[in-house]
Amino acid sequence: MIVGVAVLSQSVLALIWAFASVFVLYWIARSEEGDLERIFGEHYPLCKSTLPMFLPRFWNTRIRSP
């Protein structure tokens, strides 16, 4: 019984740590986006609309010419 509680508590802590890490990374990415928008101005929203934030878009694999 005690071993089961110990394993369960470690699992819950790992799950909380994972969600907290994702939240912190998302918060950092949003703050950096604000910095980039101030630096690059009107060109940044165009670039942002074509690029994903974290995961690559495998379903939109057209080759774009520069």
Helix axes 2-40, 43-50, angle to 10 degrees: 140
CB 58 within 8 A of CB 65: no
18-63 tens-digit pLDDT: 999 999 999 998 898 889 899 988 888 888 887 777 777 676 656 5
Domain count, the chain: 1
pLDDT at residue 9 tops 60: yes
Q: Does residue 60 form part of some domain?
A: no
pLDDT at position 2: 62
Q: Which two tokens stand for residue 15?
A: 């799950």
Structural domain contains residue 8: no
Structure tokens at 52: 């994903």
The answer to whether residue 61 sits within a structural domain is: no
Kindly state whether residue 63 falls inside one of the protein's structural domains.
no
- Phi first, then psi, for residue 28 (nearest 5°) are -65, -40
Nearest of 19, 34, 25 to residue 55 by alpha carbon: 25
Structural domain of 35:
24-51
Report if residue 15 sits inside a domain. Answer: no
pLDDT at 61: 59
Instruction: At 55, list the tokens.
Output: 């995961």
pLDDT tier, 17 (very low <50, low <70, confident <90, very high otherwise) = very high
